[in-house]
Amino acid sequence: MADKIRCAHILVKSESQAKEILDRLGRGEKFSNLAQQYSIDGSARRGGDLGQFGHGVMVREFEKAAFSLQKGQVSGIVKTQFGYHIIKRLE
Protein backbone atom coordinates (compact mmCIF):
# COMPACT_ATOMS: atom_id res chain seq x y z
CA MET A 1 0.00 0.00 0.00
CA ALA A 2 1.21 3.47 -0.85
CA ASP A 3 2.52 5.63 1.99
CA LYS A 4 1.47 8.82 0.23
CA ILE A 5 -0.94 9.48 -2.60
CA ARG A 6 -1.98 12.57 -4.53
CA CYS A 7 -5.64 13.25 -5.09
CA ALA A 8 -8.01 15.93 -6.21
CA HIS A 9 -11.56 16.34 -5.02
CA ILE A 10 -14.77 18.22 -5.60
CA LEU A 11 -16.56 19.17 -2.38
CA VAL A 12 -20.20 20.27 -2.42
CA LYS A 13 -22.88 20.70 0.25
CA SER A 14 -25.66 18.54 -1.25
CA GLU A 15 -25.82 14.94 -2.36
CA SER A 16 -28.01 15.94 -5.32
CA GLN A 17 -25.34 18.33 -6.58
CA ALA A 18 -22.68 15.64 -6.13
CA LYS A 19 -24.82 13.23 -8.21
CA GLU A 20 -25.16 15.82 -10.97
CA ILE A 21 -21.39 16.35 -11.04
CA LEU A 22 -20.79 12.57 -11.18
CA ASP A 23 -23.18 12.39 -14.14
CA ARG A 24 -21.27 15.18 -15.89
CA LEU A 25 -17.95 13.41 -15.24
CA GLY A 26 -19.49 10.28 -16.75
CA ARG A 27 -20.33 12.27 -19.87
CA GLY A 28 -16.67 13.19 -20.23
CA GLU A 29 -16.45 16.62 -18.61
CA LYS A 30 -13.04 17.44 -17.16
CA PHE A 31 -12.64 16.84 -13.41
CA SER A 32 -10.50 19.94 -12.83
CA ASN A 33 -12.98 22.21 -14.64
CA LEU A 34 -15.88 20.94 -12.53
CA ALA A 35 -13.80 21.32 -9.36
CA GLN A 36 -13.00 24.94 -10.23
CA GLN A 37 -16.65 25.62 -10.97
CA TYR A 38 -18.37 23.85 -8.04
CA SER A 39 -16.02 22.88 -5.21
CA ILE A 40 -16.57 24.90 -2.03
CA ASP A 41 -13.10 24.57 -0.53
CA GLY A 42 -9.74 26.22 -1.16
CA SER A 43 -8.54 23.51 -3.53
CA ALA A 44 -11.08 24.63 -6.15
CA ARG A 45 -8.71 27.16 -7.70
CA ARG A 46 -6.20 24.32 -8.26
CA GLY A 47 -8.77 22.13 -9.98
CA GLY A 48 -9.40 20.31 -6.73
CA ASP A 49 -5.76 19.22 -6.32
CA LEU A 50 -5.04 18.42 -2.68
CA GLY A 51 -1.38 17.54 -3.26
CA GLN A 52 0.23 14.52 -1.62
CA PHE A 53 -0.92 13.22 1.73
CA GLY A 54 -0.33 10.19 3.87
CA HIS A 55 -2.43 8.19 6.29
CA GLY A 56 -3.94 10.05 9.23
CA VAL A 57 -4.13 13.44 7.49
CA MET A 58 -7.66 13.40 6.04
CA VAL A 59 -10.89 12.45 7.81
CA ARG A 60 -11.42 8.69 7.99
CA GLU A 61 -14.15 8.33 5.34
CA PHE A 62 -12.21 10.43 2.83
CA GLU A 63 -8.94 8.62 3.48
CA LYS A 64 -10.51 5.16 3.15
CA ALA A 65 -12.02 6.06 -0.23
CA ALA A 66 -8.92 7.87 -1.52
CA PHE A 67 -6.49 5.06 -0.70
CA SER A 68 -8.79 2.48 -2.33
CA LEU A 69 -8.63 4.21 -5.73
CA GLN A 70 -6.27 3.32 -8.56
CA LYS A 71 -4.39 6.06 -10.41
CA GLY A 72 -6.83 8.01 -12.61
CA GLN A 73 -9.88 6.46 -10.95
CA VAL A 74 -12.76 8.61 -9.65
CA SER A 75 -14.71 7.66 -6.53
CA GLY A 76 -18.41 7.64 -6.02
CA ILE A 77 -19.87 10.13 -3.54
CA VAL A 78 -18.08 10.16 -0.18
CA LYS A 79 -19.95 11.84 2.69
CA THR A 80 -17.95 13.46 5.50
CA GLN A 81 -18.67 16.15 8.08
CA PHE A 82 -17.59 18.71 5.45
CA GLY A 83 -20.11 17.68 2.81
CA TYR A 84 -20.08 15.41 -0.24
CA HIS A 85 -16.79 14.64 -1.98
CA ILE A 86 -15.93 13.17 -5.34
CA ILE A 87 -12.29 12.10 -5.25
CA LYS A 88 -9.88 11.48 -8.12
CA ARG A 89 -6.56 9.70 -7.54
CA LEU A 90 -3.89 11.61 -9.45
CA GLU A 91 -0.79 9.52 -8.68
CATH of the domain at 27: 3.10.50.40
Report strand pairing: 49-54 vs 74-80: unpaired
CB 77 within 8 Å of CB 11? no
- Tens of pLDDT, residue by residue, the chain (91 residues): 569 999 999 999 999 999 999 999 999 999 999 999 999 999 999 999 999 999 999 999 999 999 999 999 999 999 999 999 999 999 8
Find the domain containing 62 and state its range: 4-89
Overall domain count for the chain: 1
- Edge-to-edge order in the sheet of strand 74-80: 49-54, 4-12, 83-89, 74-80
This prediction's pTM? 0.95
